[in-house]
Amino acid sequence: MEVIISTMTIQLNGNSHLIEAPMTLSELLVCLGFGGKPVVVELNEQAIFPRDYPTVRIEEGARIEIVTLAAGG
């Protein structure tokens, strides 16, 4: 039996990016290597609370900005 993987295109930090569908913000962060790291995520110009990452579904054409947080002086 053939497995069909569905994909969708999003805008990630201003660039077109192809991802598997369906996907949550948490899953996207893990795929990108940001799982468990301190980041700020904006979805379609709205900040998303980290507690909501597992339940927020990404849709075709979503505009996502990910900003990493770094400590320093």
Residue 15 domain flag: yes
- The rounded Cα 41 to chain-centroid distance in angstroms is 8
Number of domains in the chain: 1
CA angle, residues 49, 9, 61, in degrees to nearest 5: 60
Amino acid, res. 11: Q
CATH of the domain at 18: 3.10.20.30
At residue 41 the predicted structure's pLDDT band, cuts being 50, 70 and 90, is very high
The reported pLDDT for the residue numbered 8 is 96
* Residue 50, preceding peptide bond in cis (omega within 30° of 0): no
Q: What is the pLDDT of residues 49-69, one digit of tens each?
A: 999 999 999 999 999 999 998
Residue 29 domain flag: yes
Range of the domain at 38: 6-68
* CA dihedral over 16, 39, 62, 8, signed as positive or negative: positive
